[in-house]
Amino acid sequence: MPPVKFTQRKFVSVDPSKCTGCGICELACSQEKSEASPLQSRIRVVRMKPLFNFALACRSCEDAKCVTACPEKALSQAEGTGVIMVSDKKCKGCDWCVQACEHGGITIHPETGLAVTCDLCGGEPQCVEFCPEEALELVATDEEAENRFNAAVEKMPAQCEELTVTVKNRDWKRLLAEAEERSAKVSEKLEALKKKSKNKKKPQ
């Protein structure tokens, strides 16, 4: 086994069996970096409704293909953590890094036209903090992330069958109760985000 290159490596991993595709992680991320706009988020929700949703974020790879693909040498990795750093002065927005990434973890900012990726918010990722379903967490290895993802995929047939039976039986009471519970969690996190945004804008 090759030696670990980044001994303090951590990245955001999703459990698709918990993710509802609500997009709170995108709002929390973009609000932390600039303004609450999902298009500016560094974590992206993929919605494969109704049973499978998940989020993509940078994995700070040991062998980061985005770094080696950049023709401008605009990308580098932080020592210890492996967090990808983008030099705005060097980046030309060519998107070679986007094409090279196997995990969908880097994107081009819709306004600046430059590459952006997760920097873990200095160690306390806001997407993890505000996820209403606790579907996101920090992990240290690709194996951890892949195991969570694969376990969720294996549950899909049973979940599909269960949903089909529930709908056929018109068990709306159960479905609505679950929907209300999710809505309550989302509302709670949205209020917390609004409060944080207001506090951020207050003059110090």
Position 11, amino acid: F
Residuewise pLDDT in 10s, the chain (204 residues)? 566 789 999 999 999 999 999 999 999 999 998 877 888 899 999 998 767 899 999 999 999 999 999 999 999 999 999 999 999 999 999 999 999 999 999 999 999 999 999 999 989 999 999 999 999 999 999 999 999 999 999 988 998 899 899 999 999 998 899 889 999 999 999 999 999 888 876 655
Nearest to 91 by CA among 71, 61, 106, 111: 71
Cα Rg of the chain, angstroms: 19
Count CA within 13 A, CB hemisphere, residue 32.
Answer: 23
| Helix ranges, the chain (H) | 24-33, 65-69, 96-100, 126-130, 142-168, 172-201
Contacts of 133 (CB under 8 A, 6+ apart): 18, 19, 20, 22, 182, 185
State pTM to two decimals: 0.87
